[in-house]
A and B are shown apart, each in its own frame.
Chain A
Amino acid sequence: MNYIILIFQSTHRTLLAEKVLLGHGIKFDIIPTPKEITSDCGMAIRINPSLTNKGMVISILNDSKIDFNLYEKWMQ
């Protein structure tokens, strides 16, 4: 399945995004940033598009003024 991967500018921004999305009852996973996206030891948010509406996540993050980069990655 193609998962949505969201990358933030720092660990602190990732923590903030996690808090905001949890506050909205959004379902997602915290994962280490996939190595093919960046070799930094960073944290990312993984969204299963069949469980969570991608557009809703994007608008929540935009409303909270949290910048992010969005990737799609095939994972088992």
Chain B
Amino acid sequence: MKTVDAKGKLCPLPLIMTKKALNEIADNETLEILIDNETSMKNVTRFLADHGMNAHVEKKGNVFQLLVNKTGVVPESAAVGEYCEVENPIKSNLVIAFQRNRLGEGAEELGNILIKAFVNTLPEVTLKPKTLIFLNSGIFLALKDSLVLDSLKKMEENGVEVLVCGTCLDYYKKKEDLGVGKISNMYDILERLTKANSVVYP
């Protein structure tokens, strides 16, 4: 059994070492990985799970022992860096895409009040989004007369990127009324959406 000793190593090293070792062993062979911090253990476990392998984790003193059968394939191109970032709220790659000015399907007045509560709670959530995107009637949330403008400004001041669809502002003739964020286009918006670890559509 091959062993990866990643004790004392910080992310992304345990991930890189695990990836390398997996490529050196045969299918169904067992790999042992030793890690001495919980964050790295979780990152490696998640990395393995995303590539179709379930690790058996056991804590032995201060060391986590992960045992995994090579039942999946880790392509050379697999990006390990992304698995480090989720634990760090500042660098999270969560995107929230507002496609309309309401929350969910159903009664309009209920959707209107729910979206306000949603946006006003955003500054308090633990995992800060990296980018907020406003599309179609979602742009109304980012206008000067928006009732959630203060919360959005607060997010922007705290380093959250706010992108507003320029075509949509133009369509609704609201370009002059933008209250927060920067006018953006489909290229930038698609870049953010496709590079996100997860996207929330309220």
- A residues sitting closer than 8 Å to B (CB atoms) are 11, 14-15, 18, 29-32, 43, 46
Contacts and interface: CB of A to CB of B under 8 A. Distances in A.
B114 to A, nearest CB: 8
| A interface: dominant SS | strand
- Interface of chain B: mostly helix, strand, loop or mixed: helix
B150 A29 contact: yes
Contacts of A29: 116, 120, 147-148, 150-151
A43 B121 CA distance: 11
Contacts, number: 27
Interface in B146-194: 147-148, 150-151
Contacts of A32: 117, 121
A43 B113 contact: yes
A30 B116 contact: yes
B110 interface: yes
Given A30-B120, A32-B121, A11 B113 contact: yes
A31 B113 contact: no
Interface of B: 109-110, 113-114, 116-117, 120-121, 147-148, 150-151
A30 B113 contact: yes
Closest 5 CB pairs of A and B: A30-B116, A32-B117, A31-B120, A29-B120, A30-B117
Given A31-B120, A46-B120, A14 B151 contact: no
21 contacts: A11-B113, A14-B113, A15-B109, A15-B113, A18-B113, A29-B116, A29-B120, A29-B148, A29-B150, A29-B151, A30-B113, A30-B116, A30-B117, A31-B117, A31-B120, A31-B121, A32-B117, A32-B121, A43-B113, A43-B114, A43-B117
Contacts of B151: 29
Nearest to A22: B147
Contacts of A15: 109-110, 113
A11 B117 CA distance: 12
B59 to A, nearest CB: 32
A56 to B, nearest CB: 18
A73 B43 CA distance: 37
A7 to B, nearest CB: 13
Contacts of A31: 117, 120-121
